[in-house]
Amino acid sequence: MTARIQQKARELFFKYGIKSISLDDLAKRAGISKKTLYQHFADKQAIVHELLDELLSSYEQAFKHCAAKAANAVEEISMQADEVFPALPEVSRLFFYDLRKYDAAGWNKVSSYLNQFLLPCFIANIERGMKEELYREELPVDLTAEIRMQQINTIFDSTEFSTRKLHTVQLMKDLSQFYLHAITTTKGKTVIRKYSKQ
């Protein structure tokens, strides 16, 4: 029953956001009473936080996979754009907007994930690319990592790129290409072209 509730919650919250979906809506979609729902979850926030933990964990595993499997730093970024985002659940930006506005504890989970996991990942990729002579050696590592972080933030912030009605996956592919062309050496740009053709 818990799994069924989680599945319906995932469908509703990820598509329509958190605020617009009540526990009555969720119970109805799950085909159960609200009393039964409360037997499995204390409240709406408990359900949302469980879904959020699952989502962030899936992102973490996907980024780790890219870092481990990529032949070089450029391929790692290319894999993130081509494999990570399409492979992950489609989540409306409204979900993260509601989280930021109405659930401080939930948003702190996102912020901690970005700062404690993703930022170090980006720094490691930049340092890897410099050693491989694919990224420019004069790059300010911390600033460059922060720029990449801001690109990723577009997933979590519904106000970013409001004039561009691009699907999240296509937007991240475009931003990743833009990022790579800005930081690569001539050798790195050759590698970009190789993966672009693939």
Please tell me the distance from the alpha carbon of residue 32 to that of residue 27, in angstroms, as a whole number: 5
Please tell me the distance from the alpha carbon of residue 128 to that of residue 131, in angstroms, as a whole number: 5
Tell me yes or no: is domain 51-197 CATH 3.40.50.1240: no
Please tell me the distance from the alpha carbon of residue 134 to that of residue 189, in angstroms, as a whole number: 8
Cβ(44)–Cβ(52) below 8 Å: no
Is it the case that residue 128 has pLDDT exceeding 70?
Answer: yes
pLDDT at 151: 85
Is it the case that residue 145 has pLDDT exceeding 60?
Answer: yes
pLDDT at 163: 43
Higher-pLDDT residue of 160 and 170 is 170
Tokens of 172: 């991240």
Mean pLDDT of the chain: 88
Cβ(37)–Cβ(5) below 8 Å: yes
Is it the case that residue 166 has pLDDT exceeding 70?
Answer: no
pLDDT at 133: 97
Average pLDDT over residues 47-54: 94
The DSSP-derived string for 82-148 is: IIIHHHS----HHHHHHHHHH-HHHHHHHHHHIIIIIHHHHHHHHHHHHHTT-B-TT--HHHHHHHH
pLDDT tens, 150-165?
Answer: 888 876 665 555 545 5
pLDDT at 86: 66
Average pLDDT over residues 123-132: 98
Q: Residue 136 carries which side chain, given as an amino acid letter?
A: R
Ranges of each domain in the chain? 51-197
